[in-house]
Every structure is written in C-alpha cells, then in structure tokens.
Amino acid sequence: MASEKNGSRSETDTTVEMPSQPRKIALITGITGQDGSYLTEFLLGKGYEVHGLIRRSSNFNTQRINHIYIDPHNVHKALMKLHYADLSDASSLRRWLDVIKPDEVYNLAAQSHVAVSFEIPDYTADVVATGALRLLEAVRSHSTDSGRSIKYYQAGSSEMFGSTPPPQLETTPFHPRSPYAASKVAAHWYTVNYREAYGLFACNGILFNHESPRRGENFVTRKITRALGRIKVGLQRKLFLGNLQASRDWGFAGDYVEAMWLMLQQEKPDDYVVATEESHTVEEFLEVSFGYLGLDWKEYVEIDKRYFRPTEVDNLKGDASKAKQVLGWTPKVGFEKLVKMMVDEDLELAKREKVLVDAGYMDAQQQP
Ligand code: NDP
Ligand code: GDR
C-alpha cells in the first residue's frame, strides 16, 4: 500500500515504469470504497494503470483492495498505486494530479451514508460538495498549466431526486431530502458548470443504489445479509431496522462501474442515469433474502425508531433509457440474483466467524 505497512512511503510510490505501449492512467478518489474496488478491477482489466487516493486512518482501510495490491517495489506488476490525500485538502489533490498526470479522474470519495449526514452535515457538505469543487478546480488549473486534458467523472446519486416521484431520469427535477443529497446536488451543478464554463470533459453519473458483497455493513442491504448469515449459523437472534416501506432501485455495483467508464469514452461529456428500472421495498428485500435460507424474517426483525430519518426518500425507480441507448449499457445482475449473491457470501463469512467463536478466538457479539 502507499502506507507504512510495507515499509516507508517514498518516491517509489509514484515511480511509473514506462510500458512498451502507453497505458491510460486513471486516478480514483474513494478507491477503498465499494465502487472504488470494482472500478479498479475493471480498469486494470482494460489495461489501465490505476492510482488511488486514500485518506489517513488509524486503522488500515484497504480491505476491499488488498487482493489487488502488489508491492510498488515490484514496478513491472504493480499497476495500482495508492497515495495519501483527502478531499478536504485542495493542495493534496492538485499535487497528485501534477505527479500522476492522469487521463481520467473518477471522483467517488464521499461521506456516503445518508442517515449519518444528518449527524455530521457540515463535514458531509465539505467532502461531498466542496470536495468535488476542489477536485474540479484542481483538474481545471492542472489542465490550464500543463496543456493536458483530463476527463472527469462525478459520482452523482438518485438521492438527488429525493421526493420527486418515479420514474426518475436526467430531466427529472431534484428535490434532495438530506444534507448528503443536497451536497450531491451541489456537486452535480459544479460539474455541469465546469463543463460549460471551461469546456472540461466532465460527466455526472446519476447512479441509483448499487450493492454487492463489498457493500458497507451499515447500508440496509448488507446490514440484512450480514445479520441473516449470522442468524442462520446461530450467532445472532435479532435484527433492528427502521423504515421497511422505502423502495429502492437496487443494482449490482460491478455492473455500474462499467457505466462510469463508458461515460468517459464518449465523444462528448454528458450526464446519465444508471439504474435497473425495477424497484423493491426493504420488506421485499427481507422476504427474498430470508426466504432464500428458508427463514421467516418476521421472527427476527424488530423496528427501531433510531433508524428512521428526519426526512425519508420513499420511492426511487430510475429510467436508464439514455444510458442504454447512448452508452450501450445494460445491467447484468437483477434483484433476485443480487440478493442471493450477497446472502451466499455473507453466509460463508458467518460460517468462518462461527469457527472462530467455537474455538474461543472471537466473541459472538464481536463483528469482524
Ligand atoms: P463508500 O462509502 O463505500 O466509499 C466511499 C469512499 O470515499 C471510501 O473510499 C472513503 O474512504 C472515501 N472517503 C470518504 N471521505 C473522504 C475524504 N474526506 N477524502 C478522501 N476520501 C474519502 O461508497 P460507495 O463506493 O458505495 O460509493 C461511491 C460513490 O458513489 C460515493 O460518492 C457515493 O456517494 C456515490 N454513490 C453511491 C451509490 C451506491 O449505491 N453505492 C449510489 C449513488 C452514488 P475510507 O475507506 O477511508 O472510508
Ligand atoms: P440509501 O441507502 O439511503 O438509499 O443511500 P441505505 O441502504 O442506507 O437505505 C436504504 C433505505 O433503507 C431504509 N432503512 C435502513 N437503512 C439503513 N442504512 N439502516 C437501517 O437499519 C434501515 N432500515 C431501513 C432507509 O431509511 C432507506 O430508505 C445509498 C447510499 O449508498 C448513498 O451514498 C447513495 O447515494 C444512495 O444509496 C443512492
């Protein structure tokens, strides 16, 4: 990593061996997150050299990309490189652009939890809204000074539509319902403005919810499948949830990162909705997931008011016609397949936990 884990962090992290054919270079913020990990795999598969910005944390935060990591001292094979930066630190963004000279920048970093954004609204706005502006400005000033052009992807969200009823598409008015969503709306318009004002190749992907076995454990789908695995092997009895009637257009993260890349391969920059065009309630997710393991969710789920939000987004269902027509993108994983994929992985994880618990190496209450 670009960390002290593998020796001191030095100039070697930024040394790039010249390949026989020039590789495209991508820079990803939020590389340690769910989407960052899938996008990295996708771009490496396309022959890119991938650089990721990671933030300093008191614990290592690279679990989702450890399997891709190759020691940077092995320069022939190490095509993913990590560097410390933060969206709240403009100087770090500009510095890494100057050093890495990317062809494409994917801005995936965010305080991405909607409920948490009500608790830390100021910080959320700083990272999600102003952070995007800082990165856009770094791209603009780097391009002006160097004469190089960079393509920019902004991770927009269906949360921006908020209370506007479905189906939601690119022309649907935004009505954000949280500090997170309002900040994403600001980032969306900053991106449009930099495109119009400076001719930047900048795209907004308006992505509806996308999940995977790598989803953060406090988002509702993963919270459910993690608990279900643990319940199935006897490590947990109850699952506490909030609003079960909210409806979401849930897709698979692995499919969605392809749409991000496709946006940057077009002749002209534009904004696209990315969605499965199917919507399901949280209750339906419970029915399908618990049913898959032969359990009745009603015996295990309790409603806890603390998980209700001050303002909720009731119903999201995208219309991805434009992405289908212009990008040629279609989702490959549907709702049931996604649920089963997540349940299968989390059941295996729970079985491994159970071995540790039974051997006395882990407390049943402890979550790894
Ligand atoms: P995650 O929460 O899994 O990942 C967020 C990433 O941002 C992590 O790598 C995190 O680092 C990083 N990060 C957070 N704060 C900062 C900061 N101040 N400076 C630098 N990096 C930071 O999100 P997802 O992968 O699910 O989503 C990716 C992006 O897409 C986000 O912008 C999200 O808002 C947006 N989005 C997601 C959707 C979804 O359904 N997943 C749908 C629509 C939009 P660390 O690992 O250290 O915490
Ligand atoms: P969301 O995802 O807010 O849509 O944002 P989340 O999984 O957090 O919530 C989905 C719906 O489930 C309801 N819910 C609960 N949610 C959580 N987290 N925990 C619970 O216990 C619970 N019980 C019910 C919520 O109220 C909500 O209606 C995600 C994030 O990835 C954003 O970054 C992204 O922009 C949007 O998706 C699109």
User: Mean pLDDT lowest for which of 15-19, 36-40, 303-307?
Assistant: 15-19
Q: Are strands 247-248 and 280-281 parallel, antiparallel or unpaired?
A: antiparallel
Active-site choice (106, 180, 256, 272): 180
> In the predicted model, what is the mean pLDDT of residues 163-168?
98
Question: pLDDT class for 75, splitting at 50, 70, 90?
Answer: low
Give the pLDDT score at 17: 46
| Ligand 2 centroid distance, CA of 246 (Å) | 9
Q: Is the beta carbon of 3 within 6 A of some atom in ligand 1?
A: no
d(CA 104, CA 151): 5
CA 83 from chain center: how many Å? Answer: 18
Active-site choice (117, 143, 157, 178): 157
The ligand with the least distance to the CA atom of 127 is: 1
The ligand with the least distance to the CA atom of 115 is: 2
Active-site choice (159, 211, 258, 353): 159
157 is catalytic: yes
pLDDT in tens, 130-161: 999 999 999 999 999 999 999 999 999 999 99
CB atoms within 10 A of CB 179: 22
pLDDT in tens, 211-221: 999 999 999 99
Give the pLDDT score at 209: 98
Whether the predicted pLDDT of 238 surpasses 70: yes
What type of residue is 3? S
Helix (H/G/I), strand (E/B), else coil: 267? coil
Burial category of 358 from C-beta neighbours within 10 Å (exposed 0-12, middle 13-18, buried 19 and up): exposed
pLDDT in tens, 313-326: 999 999 999 999 99
312 is catalytic: no
Give the pLDDT score at 246: 98
**Total-model pTM:** 0.94
Q: Is the beta carbon of 212 within 6 A of some atom in ligand 1?
A: no
Q: Is the beta carbon of 114 within 6 A of some atom in ligand 2?
A: yes
Give the pLDDT score at 87: 98
Percent of the chain with pLDDT over 70: 93
Give the pLDDT score at 19: 54
123 is catalytic: no
> In the predicted model, what is the mean pLDDT of residues 354-362?
94
Alpha carbon distances (Å) from 316 to 97, 260, 309: 36, 20, 16
Identify which of 161, 123, 119 has the alpha carbon closest to the alpha carbon of residue 275: 161
| Ligand 2 centroid distance, CA of 142 (Å) | 36
Domains of the chain: 25-216+249-279+315-333 (3.40.50.720)
pLDDT in tens, 95-138: 999 999 999 999 999 999 999 999 999 999 999 999 999 999 99
| Ligand 2 centroid distance, CA of 312 (Å) | 9
Q: Is the beta carbon of 86 within 6 A of some atom in ligand 1?
A: yes
Whether the predicted pLDDT of 363 surpasses 90: no
Give the pLDDT score at 71: 77
Q: Is the beta carbon of 108 within 6 A of some atom in ligand 1?
A: yes
User: Mean pLDDT lowest for which of 57-61, 171-175, 341-345?
Assistant: 57-61
Kindly report the average pLDDT of the chain as a whole number.
93
Percent of the chain with pLDDT over 90: 89
Q: Is the beta carbon of 72 within 6 A of some atom in ligand 1?
A: no
> In the predicted model, what is the mean pLDDT of residues 163-173?
98
Looking at the predicted complex, does its ipTM rise above 0.95? yes
More confident residue, 77 or 256: 256
Whether the predicted pLDDT of 299 surpasses 70: yes
| Ligand 1 centroid distance, CA of 360 (Å) | 35
